[in-house]
Structure 1
Amino acid sequence: MKFLALLRSTSPAMFFYALVVSVVSGVSSTYVIKMVHQFAEVGIETDPYFTPKFMGAVVLFGITGVLSSYFISVLTQRMIYKLRTDLSSKILNASFQKTERNLDKILPVLTADINFVSASMNRLPPVVTGLATAVGCIFYMFYLSWEMTLGSMGLFGIAFLINYVALPYLKKYSEAARDVWDKIHKNFEGVVYGMKELKLNKQHRENFIETSIGPNCLEENKYRVKEEVLYAVSSRIVEMILLMGIGLFIINMTSISWMNKDEFGNYLLVLLFTVAPLATVSGFLKHIKRTQVSLKKIDDIGVNLVIEPDFIEEDLDISGWNSDSDPLFSFKDVYFSYDTNNEDKNSPLDQSI
């Protein structure tokens, strides 16, 4: 994924540390779940070190969780800093005409898109920890009962497939809403910079709201509602499938030779602990698509603002300049032409000051 590549390129060492502590946090969480399962199955009398091991795992989970958040937060802020400075550099070094043509797209990217990428990256620590916890729990579930785990993995596979099918549509609506946001931002600029003219003309003011701001805002709302409803539908279908799968296990328990009530109760405890971190990871998929849309907008602006300086900077030789008789600066053969198909150059300007 592109945003992970961006994080890694920002600081490979810190990215590695963040990954390690996130995995350790997930493993600690899995160990706590194992200890809870052990208590439910045989009690704590068989293990004299149950309390220190349990408390140690909880403390380790808390410390590594905080470290994971710290490392990823530092990485995120460095990445956002680099995105902002690189884009600002491209804007200032690109030709004026190219910057002017993309002005209505530049400001939304500098504000909305980069801020959304930052907010999405801040969600990574619990997602990485949740993923590590889910993987650890799945391995433990295989240890408890590989037959039931294969059935559970089938349910998880169906849930993943539903999310996978829904993701392109989520991205489609997110892209459409983001394109409309460019128009809305341009409308807001018109409100701010054209406030005086709008206030002087009531009809123009009302027409601007009714024909520009209102329709664009309604269009963005339409796409955002579709995006949220689609995400809610896919999430609820996944939850229903998981619950129905557990129900099928319960209903058919008596007819399955390799499963009894006690074993299933112990297995179900671990399975329910696994669903929550998987839900966290699944919920992040929506933000991944919106983040990809924002990163694409940032890339598009970068491509559009390829550094094409329309002037050449040279060091001036002022050794022969006479302050008493020579002008401070002078123009000679200066002209400007718009970059259009029909190039009309103005007459050269000669002027000395």
Structure 2
Amino acid sequence: MQMIKQLVKQSWPLMLLATATGIISGFSGASLVKLISDGVTSQHASVVMAGQFFALCAVFLGTKLVSEFVLMSLTQEAVHKIRLDLSRKLIATPVKKLQQLGQPQLLAIMTNDIATLVQALQMLPPAFGNLVVITGCLAYMFWLSWQLALITTVSLAAGLVAYQLAERAPLRHMFGLREQMDVLYRNFRGLIEGSRELQLNMARGKQFVEQVIAPDSLAFKTLYLQTMRVYALISNLNNILFYLLIGLLVFVVPIWFKINAGLLTTFVLVLLFLMRPINDLLYAVPVIRQAGFSAAKIDQLDGALSAGSIDLNASAFKSPHKRSLVLKGIAHHYPAPTEDRQFMLGPVDLCMEEGEIIFIVGGNGSGKTTLAMLILGLYEPETGEISLNGQTVTEQNIVEYRQNFSAVFADFHLFEQLLEVDRDGMSERAMHYIQQLGMAHKVSITDGKFSTLNLSTGQRKRLALVSAYLEDRPIYLFDEWAADQDPVFKKIFYTELLPDLKRRGKTVLVITHDDAYFPCADRVVKLQDGHLHSITGKPQGVSNVGADTQTDHPHAASML
């Protein structure tokens, strides 16, 4: 991966240290084998040989640990940087692009693929150490007898070629295995998020498990077994190869050449010693191969995400004058369920002023949420422009523009953590809002977090409202916030909380169907089939709405 290569380039002194200590460790291991061989063939043991043995053990262990610890730190630093880099890019990537990529694929990459990469990277330090040990042992064997070493090397090379040929079949399945993982993630997401619907219709639930999850899981199982069985076969054939090589050296080669028994004993000892590091290397191969496909998926996601910075220009969109948010001819196309009809929002012209409460109403599919996403800067209009305080919103300042909003969406996500909870008594303010919303007996603030999120949807929405209040942004948007509230808190929302935001000079946009509370709004904007159909309310700061706008309020003519 590019990020890992970059890290290696930046950390070359540590890489050099790991390489040097790994080489020393490898040759220490080879020297240990030689010393043990000398001890076995020698007639008399000596204190000097014992001292050399324990010294080599200390050098072997010490250098191997240093090499593995350094490589471990480097690989984990690489994974840490990958996680942070992807997280920063996810924040900077437009919401619509993330929706196109799909939640199952994103979750599979951020969890499964990174976990696979971590597992492979954890194997690299010992794999490097084993490689050095193998190299050192082969060098020692050539020093003892180049003829026997050549036979050994050719045999090992033949085994490696056979391994590469045998590996072609499982490699073909590796990519399919990774693609099948995306399918399983999508199925499990449906199982979890649709658990209520499935439990209300057990026949459908059984069908989903037996006819959707079971075949896909079976396909994954089949691919996995086809892949790993071949690797298991290769690994065991490798053991047989070693014994065949030892048999060749012990029983066949002496028929052709006269070989010293001590030399032959040393070669056999070295080969037996090499079995473990070579087996460990072969065991790591399928994991590293799998990590290669995961790394490709991570690179693919990395290329699809935006590289925008999340650092902000604090002075952007600030103005000494009264705040105004203006939409001028904005339009947005949205794919429709049928190919012959494409939904279009707009063109929309609308002006929203400081301290104004605006209700956005309309039937399902009229474009309310799409308009909200455009206003928030989470969708980009195909035509028209948006300006805040006289400054046009562009691709260069869109991130700063979004920082003027707080929103509670209909499908909101409630974060456990409260940001800057200790700033200016924010913890006390949070508890004040929690108490005002009737949640003090259930929730408190502990270490900058809500004490629990195990609440009903309506109660969790109240906590989301608390989080939005604490952000203290100039403009607020609430998408069907009151839909999950009982009549008491619905009334508090419309008659107490919204007027409080208005008194504080906030611009408040509310998507709602609660027509009984329409008098609480300064204006009611009605959408129908993607167009502003009517605007009712006080004659305040409304721009040209467009030719198709109708009115049903005495002041509408003057507003338009």
TM-score greater than 0.5 by the shorter chain: yes
1:306–1:163 distance in 2 versus 1, CA, 3 Å:
farther
- CA–CA distance in structure 2, aligned partners of residues 7 and 20 of structure 1: 19
1:10–1:293 distance in 2 versus 1, CA, 3 Å:
farther
Alpha-carbon shift at residue 10 of structure 1 (Å): 5.8
* Residue of structure 2 in register with 1:325 after alignment: none
* Aligned partner letter, 2:79: I
Q: Aligned match of 1:337 in 326, 333, 336?
A: 333
Alpha-carbon shift at residue 152 of structure 1 (Å): 0.7
- CA–CA distance in structure 1, aligned partners of residues 171 and 98 of structure 2: 28
* Residue of structure 1 in register with 2:263 after alignment: 263
Structure 1 window deviating more from structure 2 (128-137 vs 247-256): it is: 247-256
1:299–1:43 distance in 2 versus 1, CA, 3 Å:
farther
SS of 1:337's equivalent in the other structure is strand
Alpha-carbon shift at residue 339 of structure 1 (Å): 7.7
- CA–CA distance in structure 2, aligned partners of residues 3 and 57 of structure 1: 37
Alpha-carbon shift at residue 167 of structure 1 (Å): 3.2
* Aligned partner letter, 2:332: F
* Residue of structure 1 in register with 2:5 after alignment: 5
* Aligned partner letter, 1:99: L
- CA–CA distance in structure 2, aligned partners of residues 100 and 254 of structure 1: 70
* Aligned partner letter, 1:282: L
Asked if structure 2 preserves the Cα contact closer than 8 Å seen for 1:27 and 1:136, the reply is yes
- CA–CA distance in structure 2, aligned partners of residues 205 and 64 of structure 1: 57
Alpha-carbon shift at residue 293 of structure 1 (Å): 0.7
Alpha-carbon shift at residue 308 of structure 1 (Å): 8.0
Deviations 1:37-83 (CA, angstroms, capped at 9, x unpaired): 110122554x6421222111111222222222321221122111111
Deviations 1:77-110 (CA, angstroms, capped at 9, x unpaired): 2111111111112222122221111122111111
SS of 2:327's equivalent in the other structure is strand
* Residue of structure 2 in register with 1:209 after alignment: 209
Deviations 1:124-180 (CA, angstroms, capped at 9, x unpaired): 222111111111111111111111111111110111112212333333222211111
* Residue of structure 1 in register with 2:50 after alignment: 51
Asked if structure 1 preserves the Cα contact closer than 8 Å seen for 2:242 and 2:271, the reply is no
Alpha-carbon shift at residue 246 of structure 1 (Å): 2.2
* Residue of structure 2 in register with 1:41 after alignment: 41
Listed as ranges, the matches of 1:115-264 within 5 Å are 115-264=115-264
1:43–1:301 distance in 2 versus 1, CA, 3 Å:
farther
Asked if structure 2 preserves the Cα contact closer than 8 Å seen for 1:170 and 1:289, the reply is no
* Residue of structure 1 in register with 2:63 after alignment: 64
- CA–CA distance in structure 2, aligned partners of residues 261 and 50 of structure 1: 21
* Aligned partner letter, 2:65: V
* Residue of structure 1 in register with 2:416 after alignment: none
- CA–CA distance in structure 1, aligned partners of residues 193 and 250 of structure 2: 66
Alpha-carbon shift at residue 260 of structure 1 (Å): 4.2
Q: TM-score, normalised by structure 2?
A: 0.57
Asked if structure 1 preserves the Cα contact closer than 8 Å seen for 2:239 and 2:275, the reply is no
Structure 1: unaligned runs, 5 residues or longer: 322-327
* Aligned partner letter, 2:220: E
Structure 2: unaligned runs, 5 residues or longer: 357-560
- CA–CA distance in structure 1, aligned partners of residues 197 and 351 of structure 2: 37
2:302 paired with 1:302: yes
Asked if structure 2 preserves the Cα contact closer than 8 Å seen for 1:167 and 1:289, the reply is no
2:73 paired with 1:74: yes
- CA–CA distance in structure 1, aligned partners of residues 332 and 9 of structure 2: 41
Q: TM-score, normalised by structure 1?
A: 0.88
Give the RMSD, CA atoms, in angstroms.
Answer: 2.6
- CA–CA distance in structure 1, aligned partners of residues 69 and 10 of structure 2: 15
Asked if structure 1 preserves the Cα contact closer than 8 Å seen for 2:3 and 2:82, the reply is no
* Residue of structure 1 in register with 2:85 after alignment: 86
- CA–CA distance in structure 2, aligned partners of residues 329 and 171 of structure 1: 59
* Aligned partner letter, 1:84: R
* Residue of structure 2 in register with 1:287 after alignment: 287
Asked if structure 2 preserves the Cα contact closer than 8 Å seen for 1:141 and 1:149, the reply is yes
Higher share of residues assigned strand: 2
SS of 1:347's equivalent in the other structure is strand
For CA contacts below 8 A with separation 6 or more, give which structure has more relative contact order.
1
SS of 2:346's equivalent in the other structure is coil
Alpha-carbon shift at residue 218 of structure 1 (Å): 0.7
* Residue of structure 2 in register with 1:315 after alignment: 316
How many equivalent residue pairs?
344
SS of 1:332's equivalent in the other structure is strand
Higher share of residues assigned helix: 1
Asked if structure 2 preserves the Cα contact closer than 8 Å seen for 1:95 and 1:308, the reply is no
* Aligned partner letter, 1:92: I
1:2–1:316 distance in 2 versus 1, CA, 3 Å:
closer
Asked if structure 1 preserves the Cα contact closer than 8 Å seen for 2:4 and 2:78, the reply is no
- CA–CA distance in structure 2, aligned partners of residues 25 and 2 of structure 1: 29
Alpha-carbon shift at residue 253 of structure 1 (Å): 4.1
Alpha-carbon shift at residue 222 of structure 1 (Å): 0.6
Regions of 4+ moved over 6 Å: 1-4, 339-343
1:19–1:142 distance in 2 versus 1, CA, 3 Å:
same
Asked if structure 2 preserves the Cα contact closer than 8 Å seen for 1:127 and 1:284, the reply is yes
Alpha-carbon shift at residue 297 of structure 1 (Å): 0.7
Asked if structure 1 preserves the Cα contact closer than 8 Å seen for 2:27 and 2:136, the reply is yes
Q: Over alpha carbons, which structure has the higher Rg?
A: 2
